[in-house]
Amino acid sequence: MRDLFIRGGLVVGPTDVAPSHVRIVDGVIAAVGPELSPASNDYVIEADGCWVGPGFIDLHTHLREPGKEAAENIDSGANAAALGGYSAVVAMPNTEPALDSVAMVTYVLERGASARVDVAVAGAITVGRRGEQLAPLAKLASLGVTLFTDDGTGVQNAGVMRRAMTYAAQLGVTLAQHCEDETLAAGGVMNEGRVSSELGLVGRPAIAEEVMVARDIDLVRLTGCPVHFLHLSTARSLALVRAAQREGLPVTAEIAPHHFTLDETACRDFDPEFKVHPPLRHASDVAALREALRAGEIDAVATDHAPHTPESKDLAFDEAPPGMLGLQHAASLTLDVVGTDSPVQFFDVLSRGPARIAQLRAEDSRPRHSAHGGAMQPGDDANVVVFDPSMTYLVDRHHLASRAKNTPYHGRTLRGSARATIVRGVVVQEGGELC
Ligand code: DOR
């Protein structure tokens, strides 16, 4: 492993920024400061005009392995993550079979150990994600799993969710909920509203999400279990979470770039690239999400990176699977809202917040992986991104690391790009090329 020297960037700490060089020795940040110079053998990364901060962490990545490797596998997903500036991803358990057993979780952890970025695993809450019988939460927690979810669907039965929360609270793990009540959402393919009526499509109403957020907040109050709300998409969901946080309840929320950059009118052409669960919402929800992100009220931006093969997406809107790619463009889309004058907040939602929620920091009790979301201080594991906030690029679905191509941003020019991604002291991506 070569030692590294990151020259001339703006180092982004938890509360402030400083023009500094960063020296990385043996996989660890060895020194940070304006007066350093590289050793003769150091590999130098030029960071002029760049932000240098902790690598991004995606709390919500569908890696599709095992079971749907035609759309993505652990390596291709990790490559997309490295290109997007991520040093770690949390793999979602809605694989086939689901990640609901020691064998399946171990399989993904072992395969992930040789990927370009750290791969943490979210275990399923229930066996087969069927919402009935609890998965072996304690056994999975002993493998280092700190997040559990049935994502793809929410746990519909309040009694099952309560039982899961009671166990999870004792295990020191967090439940992550996909909030959609199926009695309200079932059969729907886009947001319920005027646009769905015009198009003659069945809607998934905002209330389907909001009743589950409200229910789970009540269950958190009862059980004390930490709950993380996945991909919230409505103004009211955010208001409910904010009120619960003010009350002191252990709840956190993420929002996904597609929900704060696209609204339901994108479905007007019946293009399945814009189909996702929860669906793209009304413009007023998009505005509320953007405002909350700008105001520092969001704990994490997470991608819900959901690869689907071209064959499966090339169906009628009603029949195509929901979901879109996210890893390679999430940081640019976040920058567009947070702005170039808020680097601390940018790293809060893309790195430090997610690291706290997934318990991936050095100070967390069971770091199975190297530590992420650090303060950029000597002694930190060197999981670092060099991010150029001014570089622009054209999104081309044919030039993505993912096996799938289902991005709704094809043809758009975006700003802000990861110039280099360093994982455990190794440069895994530089200048848009995998290393
Ligand atoms: O649109 C979605 N696609 N939402 C989810 O929650 C799951 C995801 C998938 O796995 O394709």
> pLDDT 10s digit of each residue in the chain, 435 long?
899 999 999 999 999 999 999 999 999 999 999 999 999 999 999 999 999 999 999 999 999 999 999 999 999 999 999 999 999 999 999 999 999 999 999 999 999 999 999 999 999 999 999 999 999 999 999 999 999 999 999 999 999 999 999 999 999 999 999 999 999 999 999 999 999 999 999 999 999 999 999 999 999 999 999 999 999 999 999 999 999 999 999 999 999 999 999 999 999 999 999 999 999 999 999 999 999 999 999 999 999 999 999 999 999 999 999 999 999 999 999 999 999 999 999 999 999 999 999 999 999 966 678 999 999 999 999 999 999 999 999 999 999 999 999 999 999 999 999 999 999 999 999 999 999
* Spatial contact of 237 and 297, defined as CB atoms under 8 Å apart: no
Q: What is the CA(110)–ligand 1 centre distance, in A?
A: 24
Positions of CATH 2.30.40.10 in the chain: 4-51+377-434
DSSP SS3 for 140: helix
Atom number in ligand 1 closest to CA 276: 1
Atom number in ligand 1 closest to CA 308: 11
Which pLDDT score is estimated for 1?
87
Q: What's the rounded Cα separation, in Å, for the pair 11 and 32?
A: 8
Q: What is the CA(209)–ligand 1 centre distance, in A?
A: 14
Q: What's the rounded Cα separation, in Å, for the pair 362 and 126?
A: 29
Q: What is the CA(257)–ligand 1 centre distance, in A?
A: 14
Q: What's the rounded Cα separation, in Å, for the pair 277 and 150?
A: 14
Atom number in ligand 1 closest to CA 231: 6
* Spatial contact of 387 and 331, defined as CB atoms under 8 Å apart: yes
How would you class 56 by CB atoms within 10 Å of its CB: exposed for 0-12, middle for 13-18, buried for 19 or more?
buried
DSSP SS3 for 165: helix
Helix/strand/coil percentages in the chain, nearest 5? 35, 25, 45
Our answer on whether the CB atom of 94 is closer than 6 Å to any ligand 1 atom is yes
Lookup result for tokens 């993904």: 108
How would you class 259 by CB atoms within 10 Å of its CB: exposed for 0-12, middle for 13-18, buried for 19 or more?
buried
Q: Which sign, positive or negative, has the C-alpha torsion 57, 59, 65, 68?
A: negative
Q: What's the rounded Cα separation, in Å, for the pair 395 and 388?
A: 16
Q: What's the rounded Cα separation, in Å, for the pair 94 and 160?
A: 18
Is 0.95 surpassed by the pTM of this model?
yes
Our answer on whether the CB atom of 272 is closer than 6 Å to any ligand 1 atom is no
Q: What is the CA(30)–ligand 1 centre distance, in A?
A: 40
Residues involved in catalysis? 304
Q: What's the rounded Cα separation, in Å, for the pair 167 and 175?
A: 10
Which pLDDT score is estimated for 139?
98
How would you class 419 by CB atoms within 10 Å of its CB: exposed for 0-12, middle for 13-18, buried for 19 or more?
buried
Whose alpha carbon is nearest atom 3 of ligand 1? 323
Our answer on whether the CB atom of 423 is closer than 6 Å to any ligand 1 atom is no
Q: What's the rounded Cα separation, in Å, for the pair 128 and 131?
A: 8
Q: What's the rounded Cα separation, in Å, for the pair 407 and 204?
A: 22
Our answer on whether the CB atom of 326 is closer than 6 Å to any ligand 1 atom is no
Backbone phi and psi for residue 333, each to the nearest 5 degrees, phi listed first: -70, -35
Which pLDDT score is estimated for 369?
80
* Spatial contact of 140 and 123, defined as CB atoms under 8 Å apart: yes
Atom number in ligand 1 closest to CA 230: 6
Backbone phi and psi for residue 168, each to the nearest 5 degrees, phi listed first: -60, -40
DSSP SS3 for 102: helix
Our answer on whether the CB atom of 322 is closer than 6 Å to any ligand 1 atom is yes
Our answer on whether the CB atom of 68 is closer than 6 Å to any ligand 1 atom is no
Q: What is the CA(411)–ligand 1 centre distance, in A?
A: 23
Task: Identify which of 182, 255, 276, 324 to mutate to test ligand 1's pocket (most ligand atoms within 8 A of the CB).
Answer: 276
Q: What is the CA(272)–ligand 1 centre distance, in A?
A: 13
Our answer on whether the CB atom of 373 is closer than 6 Å to any ligand 1 atom is no
Q: What is the CA(279)–ligand 1 centre distance, in A?
A: 10
Our answer on whether the CB atom of 307 is closer than 6 Å to any ligand 1 atom is no
> CA 93, 97, 98: angle at the middle one, nearest 5?
25
**Per CATH, domain 4-51+377-434 is 1.20.1050.40:** no
Which pLDDT score is estimated for 366?
64
Q: Kindly state the tokens that stand for 308.
A: 């689907």
Atom number in ligand 1 closest to CA 62: 10
Q: Which alpha helices (DSSP H) does 226-280 contain, by range?
A: 235-246, 257-261
Q: Which CATH number fits domain 55-358: 3.30.465.10, 3.30.930.10, 3.40.50.720, 3.20.20.140?
A: 3.20.20.140
In order of 10, 196, 251, 311, 434, the CA distances from 317 in angstroms are: 45, 12, 34, 13, 34
Question: How many of the other CB atoms lie within 10 Å of CB of 415?
Answer: 15
Task: Single out the residue of 210, 242, 404, 205 nearest to residue 324, CA to CA.
Answer: 404
Which pLDDT score is estimated for 368?
72
Cis peptide before 66 (omega within 30 of 0): yes
Which pLDDT score is estimated for 258?
99
